[in-house]
Amino acid sequence: MRITILGSAAGGGFPQWNCNCRNCAGVRSGSVNAKPRTQSSIFVQPDGGHEGVLFNASPDILEQIRSHGALQPARALRDTAIAGVVLMDGQIDHATGLLMLRERNGKLPLWCTDPVEEDLSQGLPVLRVLSHYCGVERHRITLDGGWFSVPGVADLRFQALPLSSKAAPYSPHREQPVAGDNIGITLHDQRSGKSAFYAPGLGDITPAVFEAMRSADAVLVDGTFWTDDEMPKLGISSKHAREIGHLPQSGPGGMIEWMAQLPATTQRHLIHINNTNPILDEDSPERAILTRADIHVCEDRMTLKL
Ligand code: MLT
Ligand code: MN
Ligand code: ZN
């Protein structure tokens, strides 16, 4: 399979429109060695196939489609390579791009859990709005370990894992999490036998999450924050990383420690990186720590072949 990183930034993107933190100001002026990034999404295709699955629909989807020819195969007057969309949660950065797909011919095939369907019908009623345009053909993602596939996308199958993270602020379960608010997905290519674990928002590595990471050939996991107090320390927000469902990379119990316990052959990638994270600066000491630990920081337009 081919995994294309459409967007490697967290909500807000990089640089964020209203932010003048060191990273955002520095990438604008060129004084920081960093690459701009769009918001969180990947596109997954089987080898040799046109059609693929979009994981998350970011507010930057139109720009992402324009900069990736593979998403517009141009086989007909109206065409797309997006055979279906799978949502990891109902947050703005992962779901509002659905509105940009409203001109689709026929209902948009959409896979999500029940709590996400609820959030997107109530707190942020994207699905109700879309029913006035192309409409959605919704498929339920269950949390029983079952595999699902997307019609038109041969050889690939997917398995969801509930994560302890956080629902969006407009969700009725923001403070009372329910299973399925956030999921991670194992992507398995039945032809190559390879798999990847994708979890852009991950608050805690439970035994089940570590097992999913350990079993995969590549992990693409939460790279939002370097430290728990990254935003409070910068005076940007009072929100701590763990409080909003993101495991920081550094420190005891952080993502770097967990990744060190993976098999030596596992490809380690961080994705969904917040604009405040010092790892965005390619010359930073924090980036050097990741490089030494063989941990890669995802960039937009990067492709992984598995
Ligand atoms: C998150 O994952 O916490 C989000 O990126 C927040 C947001 O989109 O505002
Ligand atoms: Mn997010
Ligand atoms: Zn910033």
Query: What pLDDT digit, counting tens, does each position of 91-121 carry?
Result: 999 999 999 999 999 999 999 999 999 999 9
From the CA of 28, how far away is ligand 3's center (Å)? 11
* Nearest CA-CA partner of 270 in 301, 232, 297, 247: 297
State the pairing for strand pair 267-271/295-297: parallel
Count Cα neighbours of 25 within 13 Å in the Cβ-side half-sphere: 3
Minimum-distance ligand 1 atom for the alpha carbon of 91: 8
Confidence band of 257 (pLDDT split at 50, 70, 90): very high
One-letter amino acid of 58: S
* Nearest CA-CA partner of 209 in 165, 166, 163, 242: 163
Residue nearest to atom 8 of ligand 1 (CA): 11
Query: What pLDDT digit, counting tens, does each position of 274-303 carry?
Result: 999 999 999 999 999 999 999 999 999 999
For 2-305, the fitting CATH number among 3.60.15.10, 3.65.10.10, 3.40.47.10, 3.30.70.20 is 3.60.15.10
Ligand 1 interacting residues, C-beta cut-off 6 A: 10-11, 91-93, 201, 244
Count Cα neighbours of 225 within 13 Å in the Cβ-side half-sphere: 23
From the CA of 239, how far away is ligand 1's center (Å)? 11
**Is pLDDT larger for residue 49 or for residue 29?**
29
The C-alpha atoms of residue 278 and residue 4 are separated, in whole angstroms, by: 24
Share of the chain above pLDDT 90, in %: 98
Query: What pLDDT digit, counting tens, does each position of 181-209 carry?
Result: 999 999 999 999 999 999 999 999 999 99
One-letter amino acid of 88: M
Mean pLDDT of the chain: 97
Q: What is the pTM of this model?
A: 0.98
DSSP E strands in the chain: the ranges are: 2-7, 41-45, 52-55, 82-86, 108-112, 136-140, 147-148, 156-162, 183-189, 195-199, 218-222, 267-271, 295-297, 303-305
Residue 165 has pLDDT above 90, yes or no: no
The C-alpha atoms of residue 290 and residue 276 are separated, in whole angstroms, by: 16
- For the chain, give every domain's residue range: 2-305
